[in-house]
Each structure stands twice: as structure tokens, then as C-alpha cells.
Amino acid sequence: SRKKTCEFKVSGTGSAGQCVTARSWNYGLIHFDVHGGNFFVYEGEIQLFDFDDSVYSWFANDIAMVFYYASFGIRDDPEAVETRVKNFFAGYAEENDINPVWMEHIQAFLSLRDLILYAVVQHDIPEEEWDTWCRNLIRDAGHRLQTNEPVLPVDFTKILI
């Protein structure tokens, strides 16, 4: 059942990042909802807005949100996803460092986003109001949550090598 899916995954994704001590360089206030509808580019700089979902979490969790939303439409194309991820980190490295240990946690953060969106749609939107996006999310995220299938077909631990 849908409820069992959520209960099962809460215990599985809750461990992301718990093995690393929170420090000012890896943990703090994050946007937690970075997607194309929540930023614009002004004079070559990314301007984020819509901070109502902000939380204190691992910075790698915000990176995972970028990948989650930027991969819509290409998730079934591992080469396209990997290219997008590598391009992101090439740009990211110009501004920040990322400890390779965090790459082990990106898939867990992606699964956590699956779980959160799955739960929000189930709880907050009556099924008769689901549009195509909602139905696809419930089908696809539900499948991934039940089978432990990764959200993206990328081995993030090999990206920074």
C-alpha cells in the first residue's frame, strides 16, 4: 500500500548525512526547492527566490535538489544525466569545494525528495485533482521507493574522480 511505502522509506532515507559531523562548511540553511520556477539569471548571476521551503540541512541536499528537478525528461538517458551532473560540478567547483564523501549521499537525498513529494501529493491533493505530473510522480516515485531503485542512473561517487 502507499502508506507502507512511506513508512518503509522513512527509516531508509533518514540516515543520509548522519555519519558526518555537521560543520559550518557542510551544514546550514538551504533553499531546499531549487528548480526552474524558483530562480532567474540576472547579469550572469543566479537569483534564488521562494524560500518558503528552506530548512537547515546538509548543503549536499540542496545540490541533490538541483539534480532532481534538472533531470526531468532525461532520467532514462544515463549519458545525458551524467553529462548534466558533470557540467554542474564543473561550474560548482569554480565557487565552492565539495568533499567527495558527500557524493555517497546524493542518491539518498534524491530518494528523500521522492518521498517528500510522494507524501505531499498523497496528503495535500485530492486524487481527482491530480494532473499528469502528479500521476507520474505517484507512479514513478512510488516504484522507486518500493524497489530502492536510484532516482538517477548515476554513480555520484565516480563523478569527482
Say yes or no to pLDDT of 8 above 60.
no
Q: Mean pLDDT for the chain?
A: 87
The predicted-structure confidence for 94-144, as pLDDT tens digits, reads as follows 988 888 888 889 999 999 999 999 999 999 999 999 999 999 999 999 999
Say yes or no to pLDDT of 161 above 60.
no
For the purposes of burial, counting CB atoms within 10 Å of the CB of 39, is it exposed (0-12), middle (13-18) or buried (19 or more)? Answer: middle
Residue among 151, 157, 155, 156 nearest 69 (CA): 151
CB 116 within 8 A of CB 4: no
pLDDT number for residue 6 = 45
The predicted-structure confidence for 35-86, as pLDDT tens digits, reads as follows 999 999 999 999 999 999 999 999 999 999 999 999 988 988 999 999 999 9
pLDDT number for residue 23 = 84
Say yes or no to pLDDT of 2 above 70.
no
* DSSP state for residue 15 in the 8-state scheme: T
pLDDT number for residue 122 = 96
pLDDT number for residue 120 = 97
| Count of beta carbons in the 10 Å neighbourhood of residue 142 | 17
Residue among 86, 105, 90 nearest 159 (CA): 86
Query: In which band, very low, low, confident or very high, does the pLDDT at 26 lie, cut at 50, 70 and 90?
Result: confident
Query: In which band, very low, low, confident or very high, does the pLDDT at 19 lie, cut at 50, 70 and 90?
Result: low
- Its sign, for the CA torsion 80, 81, 83, 87, is positive
pTM for this prediction? 0.85
Residue among 109, 104, 13 nearest 67 (CA): 109
Say yes or no to pLDDT of 145 above 50.
yes
CB 134 within 8 A of CB 121: yes
